[in-house]
C-alpha cells in the first residue's frame, strides 16, 4: 500500500538508502536534510524517476520551530506523514574528560531531541488515522556502549527507551514504534575512522565485512511494511554479528 513517508537526514548515507527503499516499496517520500541541498535534490530526482512523488525539505531536526515547519511543508506537498523514519544523526567523539558540553548538547539535540520532536509532530495525525509507523535509527553503541562515544551512546540508548515507551502509549491506536540498530556501515560518518579501523571492525563481525546502507534500509522497509504489523517496541540489530 502506498503511504507518505518522511525520512530525516535522507540526503546521504543510510537515510538516502532508506528513502530510495521506501520509494521502491511504493511510498511517496519527503527527503529531509540540513545542509546538503544538492544531494537531497538528487535523491528526490531518483525517486521521481522511479515513479513516486518526493520533495526535499530543509530542517535542523533538533530545532523545534524547524520541525514544525517541516511537517507543515510535507503535509501541504504530500499529505500527512504515515511512516516516520528518524534517521538524522551526528557524532562528536571524544573521551569524557575532554568532552565539552557543546559536544554533548549537539549530539543529544540532533540524535535524541529530534526523535522526540519529530515523533510528537507525527503522532497526532497517526492517532486520528489509527495507523502509523515510527522507525528510529539507533546504533549498537547505544546497546553495548563505546569508549569515546558517551554522548552518542547516550543518545542512541535514549532512542531505545523512548521507543519502547511510545510503543506502549500508542499500540492501541495501531501505531508501531521500532528501532533499527546498525553496526558499522560504510557511509560518510564512518569514512573518517580510517582503513585500519574499518579492517579491524570487519574482522570482528561474524560476517567478516562492513555493512552497506541498503542493508539497513531493508530492515527499515520491513518494519514499515504490513508484514511487520504485529512487531512493536523492538530493536532490530543490523550489524553482521559485530556485537555478538
Ligand atoms: P551520514 O552519512 O553522516 O549522514 C547523516 C545524515 O543526517 C545526512 O543526510 C545529514 O544531512 C543528516 N543530518 C545531520 N544533522 C542533521 C540535522 N541537524 N537535521 C537534519 N538532518 C541532519 O550518516 P549515516 O552513517 O548515514 O548515519 C545515519 C544514521 O545512522 C545516524 O543516526 C547514525 O547515528 C546511525 N548509525 C550509523 C552507523 C554507521 O556505521 N554509519 C552505525 C550506527 C548508526 P546533511 O547532509 O544535510 O548534513
Its pTM stands at 0.99
All 3 cell numbers of residue 147?
569508549
Q: What is the pLDDT of residues 57-99, one digit of tens each?
A: 999 999 999 999 999 999 999 999 999 999 999 999 999 999 9
What the block records as the C-alpha cell of 93 is 567523539
Rounded to whole angstroms, the Cα distance separating 125 from 196 reads: 47
What is the rounded CA–CA span in Å between residue 168 and residue 164? 6
Q: Using CA atoms, how far apart are residues 177 and 160, in angstroms rounded to an integer?
A: 10
What string of H, E and C letters represents the secondary structure of 154-182?
Answer: HHHHHHHHHHHHHHHHHHHHCEEEEEEEE
- At 172-229, the pLDDT tens digits run 999 999 999 999 999 999 998 899 999 999 999 999 999 999 999 999 999 999 999 9
Kindly give the number of the ligand 1 atom that is closest to the alpha carbon of 211. 40
Cβ(154)–Cβ(147) below 8 Å: no
Residue ranges around ligand 1 (CB below 6 Å): 8-15, 32-36, 39, 60-62, 87-90, 110, 137, 139, 182, 184-185, 187-190
Looking at every residue in the chain, the average pLDDT score rounds to 98
Q: Rounded CA gap, 201 and 117, in Å?
A: 33
- Which residue shows C-alpha cell 508484514? 227
Q: Read off the C-alpha cell for 123.
A: 503522532
Compare 2 and 86 and report the one with higher pLDDT: 86
> Which pLDDT band holds residue 1 (cuts at 50, 70, 90)?
confident
pLDDT in tens, 101-141: 999 999 999 999 999 999 999 999 999 999 999 999 999 99
Alpha carbon of 185 to ligand 1 centroid (Å)? 11
- Distance CA(157)–CA(111), nearest Å, equals 10
Amino acid at each position: 500500500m502506498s503511504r507518505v513517508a518522511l525520512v530525516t537526514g535522507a540526503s546521504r548515507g543510510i537515510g538516502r538508502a532508506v528513502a530510495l527503499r521506501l520509494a521502491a516499496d511504493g511510498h511517496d517520500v519527503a527527503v529531509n536534510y540540513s545542509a546538503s541541498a544538492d544531494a537531497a535534490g538528487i535523491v528526490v530526482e531518483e525517486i521521481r524517476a522511479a515513479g513516486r512523488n518526493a520533495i526535499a525539505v530543509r530542517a535542523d531536526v533538533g530545532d523545534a520551530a524547524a520541525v514544525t515547519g517541516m511537517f507543515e511543508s510535507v503535509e501541504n506537498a504530500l499529505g500527512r506523514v504515515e511512516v516516520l523514519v528518524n534517521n538524522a544523526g551526528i557524532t562528536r567523539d571524544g573521551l569524557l574528560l575532554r568532552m565539552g558540553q557543546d559536544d554533548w548538547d549537539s549530539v543529544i539535540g540532533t540524535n535524541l531531541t529530534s526523535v522526540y520532536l519529530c515523533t510528537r509532530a507525527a503522532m497526532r495525525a497517526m492517532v486520528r488515522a489509527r495507523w502509523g509507523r515510527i522507525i528510529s535509527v539507533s546504533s549498537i553503541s547505544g546497546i553495548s556502549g563505546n569508549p569515546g562515544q558517551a554522548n552518542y551512546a547516550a543518545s542512541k540508548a535514549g532512542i531505545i527507551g523512548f521507543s519502547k515507551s511510545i510503543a506502549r502509549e500508542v499500540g492501541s491506536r495501531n501505531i508501531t514504534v521500532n528501532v533499527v540498530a546498525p553496526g558499522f556501515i560504510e557511509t560518510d560518518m564512518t569514512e573518517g575512522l580510517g582503513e585500519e579501523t574499518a579492517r579491524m571492525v570487519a574482522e570482528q563481525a561474524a560476517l567478516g565485512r562492513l555493512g552497506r546502507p541498503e542493508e539497513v534500509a531493508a530492515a527499515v522497509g520491513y518494519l514499515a511494511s504490513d508484514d511487520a504489523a504485529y512487531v512493536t517496541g523492538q530493536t532490530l540489530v543490523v550489524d553482521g554479528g559485530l556485537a555478538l
